[in-house]
Amino acid sequence: MKRNVVVLALATLLFAVGFSPAHSQTIGAQAEGKVTQEGSPLPNAQVVFTNTQTGKIYKTKTDKSGEFRMLGVPYGSYEINVLSDKGEKLSSDRTTLGTDNTTSSNILDIHASKEPIAENKFGLPEPAAPKLTKEQLAKIQADNKKIAGLNSLISDAQNARQAQDWPKAENALKQLVAAATSCLSAFSALGQSCAWRAF
Q: What count of other Cβ atoms lies within 10 Å of the Cβ of residue 146?
A: 15
pLDDT digits (tens, 9 = 90+) for 26-41: 467 788 888 888 888 8
Decide: 36 and 111 in contact? Cβ < 8 Å: yes
Decide: 56 and 70 in contact? Cβ < 8 Å: no
Decide: 13 and 57 in contact? Cβ < 8 Å: no
* Whole-number pLDDT of residue 31: 82
Q: What ranges do the domains of the chain cover?
A: 28-112, 134-198
Decide: 34 and 66 in contact? Cβ < 8 Å: yes
Q: Which residues, 6 or more positions from 116, have their beta carbon under 8 angstroms from its beta carbon?
A: 84, 88, 89, 90
List the helix and strand counts (H, then E) for the chain. Answer: 3, 8
Q: What count of other Cβ atoms lies within 10 Å of the Cβ of residue 86?
A: 6
* Whole-number pLDDT of residue 173: 85
Write down the CATH number for the domain with range 28-112: 2.60.40.10
Residues of the chain with pLDDT under 50: 22-26, 101-105, 196-199
pLDDT digits (tens, 9 = 90+) for 36-71: 888 888 888 888 888 888 889 888 899 988 888 888
Write the DSSP assignment of 70-98 as a string of letters: EEEEESEEEEEEEE-TTS-EEEEEEEEE-
